[in-house]
Amino acid sequence: MEPFRSGDWIRIKYGEYEGRVAKIAILKKSGEYGVILYENEFAGGKDDLPKDAIVMLEETSMQKLDPYVLDQKQLRALVRAEITYDDFAEQVFPQFNLKAERRYTMMATDIKKALVNINKQKDPLPLFKEWFWIILNVFYEDLNISIKYDENLFSDFPKDEKEIFSTVFGMTEKLYWRLEERFGRKEDVEQFLVRFDEEPLWDKPDNNRVMLEESAYFMICNDIIERIDSYLYCKGKPQGAWIYSPSQMRHVVSSYEQDEDLRKATPEERALFKDFVKKLYRLGDVTAIRILAWSYYKGNACYRQNWNKSEKLLLELFEKTGDPAAANGLGYIYFYGRTNQGVSEPERAFQYFSYAALDGIDESIYMVADMLIHGTGIRKNIDMGVEMLVTGYRETTDDICHGIFESRFAEYAFRMGEASEEGLLYGLGNRDAFRFYLETRYALQKRRPYKYFGDDVLLARVNMKIETMQAELGIDPNRTELKADYPIFINQMYESRLPVKVTIYKKRGTNDQYLKLSRLSFRELLGRLGGMQEDHFGEDGGIRKILVTYPELSYTTTSAEIEFLLEEEEILKVPENGRPFFTDEFRKNEVTGAIEFYAHGDLVAALDAKWYVIKIRKGKNI
């Protein structure tokens, strides 16, 4: 009798699970077999174990169920989707108990033929999933697939059969698994080997999952087929005679994302880049339209700045895709009259800024707010404009507190300062404006590594504002100490609803008493709760800092810690060991004036001080 092997289907002859169908999963040295029990539909009895449970059996208790054997011709036809599982399913027991008569070497051309045949059917998606499932799970070894996908082999221009097979099989496998996940989020699409730059369906209101799946499926199918056809045509020809598929050209041009990349390229590489962009544009490819639009907008190593060409291409891009970045770019072109001899076209600018603002583009949001406040290109609506500014300021404050310094917080803070100066924000005036300008300067200096266009101009403007207002408000720019009768920013320390570490201590060698409040990072919190300290929180442990601004000291920073020197203090209660303690709430006792700290509702510390003194080192501020 032929020995049992892993993957064989069996029927249990006797014992507790008599009549049950199972599949051999493991073989132990003791001679026992670990088998996976399947649905009890074959046995006709009561299910006494869950599906997929593993039980151990002796060889004598098993009867092998002979597989349905595909000959070489049938296997090749199945691989090419000329026949499907349904064509012989009635002869297979149990389901997918299949075996190949002998091995067949699967080629990239087989994948192409399979996709072509599948796509001829009325409902190709289920057929594709079934076809590739059988290849992966039933005939993988029988198809001599020595390597599914090797990133080291991946190339836009494969040189041999092994490389082209690795590429197209990898793309096919990615397609299969992404379709299985059914696109829970748009971001899933970015993980394909080939990005869906066309995105023809995402923004349509009548989308459904099947439409999205079909859109993704056909895009990848076409890409795979184009790559194989290109490879077969170019095979054996000199490189000068090669033709390239649109996806190959798209990959090449997309690799030059920055002007710096183009400047580093050789003249031959730049010539190839321009040639591919030209060919893709003629095909109506969105990638090419986007590249040309922004190349003419900014100018780069291959294209001179040309506002008229950029306007035309951005309009084409926006009409084709609804790209909010394109709308934002058009807004700036019209606002500054780039294509109108320097004469602003505010109505058109407002129209396109509005499109982009609706999609959450910060630049467009604050430009729309500006235009509403001043009635530029639209009927004046100060309340709406101010509301947009305040909302954007709050949201980008959260960004900067999380260390996202490339955000547009600086622009919102600057406009908040201007609105305060103009008396547009209820209850806020010049001192508040000065605070916003300090925050603007801090954000711009933190953002310096990102080299945003216009940052130097904005920094010069805000520095001038700061100097003027320091003189008007009588603020000493060299001051480094501030006294307050209440611990400033203590409220913000408790906003995150995570425990706050409190330390009341004396500095060594002095009688000076200090109060220090520190926010816990998520890493510290997990450690305190006995959880694993994960590294994925980043260098700062996943901490959200607070934005700290002292206008009197001309100082702004983000910090997870604030410290006060206490003057004329009285320590009413502290933990006995004097070490740092954790709190989740604080209150000011309105009767005694003391600051009280609580943990789980219990008072753990209290102190009263006439002055809470802040001392800063300006050298640490950027």
Residue that is written with structure tokens 């994948």 in the block: 111
Instruction: Give yes or no: residues 60 and 83 share one domain.
Output: no
Q: What is the pTM of this model?
A: 0.74
Same domain, 206 and 118: yes
Q: Is residue 452 part of a domain?
A: no
Task: Give the DSSP letter string of 468-499.
Answer: HHHHHHT--TT--EEEESS-TTHHHHTTT-S-
Q: What does the alpha-carbon distance between residue 364 and residue 346 come to, in Å, rounded to a whole number? A: 13
pLDDT of residue 395: 95
Residue 173's pLDDT is what? 87
Helices (H) and strands (E) in the chain, counts: 19, 17
Residue 45 tokens read as: 């009895």
Residue with tokens 């397609």: 175
Q: Please report the pLDDT score of residue 482 as a whole number.
A: 96
Instruction: State which of 257, 289, 322 marks the end of a domain.
Output: 322
- HSE (side-chain half, CA atoms, 13 Å) at 179: 26
Pair 591, 509 in one domain: yes
Q: How far is residue 468's CA from residue 478's CA, in Å, rounded to a whole number?
A: 15
- Tell me which residue of 325, 312, 565, 550 sits closest to 438, measured CA to CA: 550
Task: Quote the domain boundaries for residue 19.
Answer: 9-65
- Any domain includes 430: no
| Secondary structure (3-state) at 130 | helix
Does 204 lie in the same domain as 81? yes
Distance of alpha carbon 578 from its chain centroid, rounded? 44
101 domain-assigned: yes
The pLDDT assigned to 77 comes to 97
What CA–CA distance (Å, rounded) separates 112 from 118? 10
Average pLDDT, integer, range 81-104: 93
* pLDDT tens digits along 240-281: 899 999 988 988 898 897 889 999 999 999 999 999 999 999
Sign of the C-alpha dihedral, residues 370, 374, 379, 380? positive
Q: Per residue in 411-466, pLDDT tens?
A: 999 999 999 999 999 999 999 999 999 999 999 999 999 989 899 999 999 999 99
Q: Are 133 and 214 contained in the same domain?
A: yes
Whether the link from the prior residue into 94 is cis, omega within 30° of 0, is: yes
Q: What is the pLDDT of residue 211?
A: 67
pLDDT at residue 106 above 60? yes
User: How many domains does the chain fold into?
Assistant: 4
- Does 231 or 30 have the greater pLDDT score? 231
DSSP 520: P
State the Cα–Cα distance between residues 204 and 537, nearest whole angstrom.
Answer: 36
Residue 295 within any structural domain of the chain = yes
Q: Of the candidates 182, 202, 235, which is a domain's last residue?
A: 235
Residues 20 and 111 placed together within one structural domain of the fold: no
User: Are 283 and 213 found together in one domain?
Assistant: no
The span from the CA of 444 to the CA of 408, in Å, is 9
| Residues 77 and 225 both lie in one domain | yes
Q: Please tell me the predicted confidence (pLDDT) of residue 205.
A: 47
Residue 463 within a domain:
no
Burial status of residue 332 (CB atoms within 10 A of its CB: 0-12, 13-18, 19 or more): middle
Residue 29 has pLDDT above 80, yes or no: no
Q: Give the span between the Cα atoms of 8 and 23, in whole angstroms.
A: 6
> Does 437 fall in a domain?
no
pLDDT for 409 equals 97
Same domain? For 265 and 161 the reply is no
> Does residue 257 sit in the same domain as residue 284?
yes
CA separation, residue 35 to residues 182, 202, 285, 307, 458 (Å): 31, 45, 53, 70, 71
Using an 8 Å Cβ cutoff, are 405 and 447 in contact? yes
> What confidence category does residue 512 fall into, taking pLDDT thresholds of 50, 70 and 90?
very high
Classify residue 523 by burial, with Cβ atoms within 10 Å: 0-12, 13-18, 19+. buried
Per-residue pLDDT of 535-587, as tens digits, reads 444 444 468 899 999 999 999 999 999 999 999 999 999 887 668 999 999 99
Cα dist from 311 to 297, 320, 340, 555, whole Å: 8, 14, 11, 42
Does 230 map to a domain? yes
Last residue of a domain, one of 174, 203, 235: 235
Report yes or no on 397 lying in a domain: no
Is residue 529 over pLDDT 50? Answer: yes
182 and 168 within one domain:
yes
Q: Residue 402's closest CA among 306, 285, 519? A: 519
Tens digits of residue pLDDT in 157-194: 888 888 899 889 988 988 888 777 654 444 444 444 44
**In 3D, which of 524, 502, 501, 549 has the Cα closest to residue 400?**
549
Mention every residue, 6+ apart, whose C-beta is less than 8 A from residue 309: 292, 296
Task: Verify that 81 and 215 share a domain, yes or no.
Answer: yes
At 255, list the tokens: 């690799």
Residue 195 has pLDDT above 60, yes or no: no
